[in-house]
Structure 1
Amino acid sequence: MAKIHPLADVQTEKIGESTSVWQYCVILKNAEIGEGCNINCQVFIENDVKIGDNVTIKPGVQIWDGVTLEDNVFIGPNVTFTNDLMPRSKVYPEVFAKTLVKKGASIGANATIIAGNTIGENAMIGAGSVVTKDVPANEIWMGNPAKFYKKIN
C-alpha cells in the first residue's frame, strides 16, 4: 500500500505499492506512478505523466503533461521540466511535447529540461544545467546549454 501524507492532494488511484507521497504534493487523476517511489514534499504531477518504479523526486519539482520517468530515475530538488516550446497565457498547443528520462538517469538540482528531449539510460545531468537536446546513455552533461562532460563507466 502507498503511504500518502494527509496534507497531500492525490487524485490518482494509479500508485504502486510502497510509494511515499509527502505533504503539500498535488497529483492529478490520470497520472501513473510505480512502486517504491519517494515523492518528496511540494511536488506537482500533472495528468499525462508516467513514473516508473523506484523513482525519487525531491522537493519543488513540477512534472507536466508529456513527461515520462522510467525506473530508478533520480530528480533533484527544484528540477524544472517544460512541455510547451512557445508558451502563451490561455493559448495551448494541440499536443504537448514529450520528454523521456530513461532508466537509471539522474538530474541534478535546479536543472532545466526543455520539452521534447530524451535523457538516456544512466545519464547524469549536472546541477543547474539546461538540457536543450537529447543526452545519450551513460554520459554526464553539464552547463548552459548542457554539453558532454564525460562517459560514465
Structure 2
Amino acid sequence: MNYKIHNLADVQTDKIGDNTMIWQFCVVLKNATIGNNCNINCNVFIENDVIIGNNVTIKPGVQVWDGVTLEDNVFIGPNVTFTNDLIPRSKQYPLEFSKTLVKKGASIGANSTIIAGNIIGENSLIGAGSVVTKDIPAHTVWFGNPARHTGYITLEGTILDLNMVDKEGISYQFQNHELLKK
C-alpha cells in the first residue's frame, strides 16, 4: 500500500493504487476503486459504484456518483458535475443508476455538467462550463450549453477546426484511429 491519504480525508475503500494521493476533505466510499498514480484533490466525493483508472486527476469540488467510470489518463477539472439519475426525486431511487464512461485521455473542463448515460470518447476535450447531453466521439472538442462539436484534438493537444486544420494551416486526417498530419 504505497498511497497517501491526508489525515482530514474520510477514505473507506482499500482499493487504491500505488502513488495515489487523496487530499483533505475528500470522502471515498468503501466500494470505490482508484488506480495508480492518481491525484484526488481536496473536497472530492467518490461514491461506491465508481471505477477510476490510472493517472487520473480530479480537481477540487467534484462529485463522482455511482455508475461513473473514469478510464486511464483522464483529467476532471474543478467543480465538474456528474449526474446519475435522469429523473431525480427526493427519497426515490431508480433500480439502477445510469452509467457514464469517460474514456482514456479525455479532459473535462471546469464547471462542466455531464448528464448521466453518456460516453465521453478517448482523448476528447470538453470546454469549461459545457453541458454534455449526448455521447462525445473520440478526438473531438466540444463547448457550450448544450455542448456543440467545435473541432478536433490530436494526442499532443493540438486543437483543429472542423475541417481538421490547425491554427498554422496544417491539415490532419484520421489514420488508425489517430489524428496525424497529412
Flag whether TM exceeds 0.5 (same fold). Answer: yes
For 1:66 and 1:126, the matched residues in 2 are separated by 23
Offset of residue 47 of structure 1: 0.0
For 2:96 and 2:24, the matched residues in 1 are separated by 31
**Which one-letter code corresponds to 2:40 in the other structure?**
I
Q: CA RMSD in A?
A: 0.3
| Aligned residue number for residue 40 of structure 1 | 41
Query: Greater CA radius of gyration, 1 or 2?
Result: 2
Offset of residue 16 of structure 1: 0.1
**Which one-letter code corresponds to 1:111 in the other structure?**
S
The 5-angstrom pairing of residues 64-83 of structure 1 reads 64-83=65-84
For 1:149 and 1:36, the matched residues in 2 are separated by 31
Where in structure 1 do 4 or more consecutive aligned residues deviate above 4 Å? none
Offset of residue 73 of structure 1: 0.1
For 2:143 and 2:93, the matched residues in 1 are separated by 31
The 5-angstrom pairing of residues 6-85 of structure 1 reads 6-85=7-86
1:68-115 deviation line (CA, Å, top 9, x unaligned) = 000000000000000000000000000000000000000000000000
For 2:104 and 2:51, the matched residues in 1 are separated by 13
| Aligned residue number for residue 175 of structure 2 | none
What is the number of equivalent residue pairs in this alignment? 153
For 2:119 and 2:143, the matched residues in 1 are separated by 15
Higher RCO structure (Cα 8 Å, ≥6 apart): 1
For 2:34 and 2:149, the matched residues in 1 are separated by 30
TM-score with structure 2 setting the length: 0.84
Structure 2, unmatched stretches of 5+, are: 155-182
Classify the secondary structure of the residue corresponding to 1:122. Answer: coil
Offset of residue 151 of structure 1: 1.2
1:29-80 deviation line (CA, Å, top 9, x unaligned) = 0000000000000000000000000000000000000000000000000000
| Aligned residue number for residue 168 of structure 2 | none
Classify the secondary structure of the residue corresponding to 1:68. Answer: strand
Classify the secondary structure of the residue corresponding to 1:150. Answer: strand
| Aligned residue number for residue 105 of structure 2 | 104
| Aligned residue number for residue 116 of structure 2 | 115
Offset of residue 129 of structure 1: 0.1
TM-score with structure 1 setting the length: 1.00
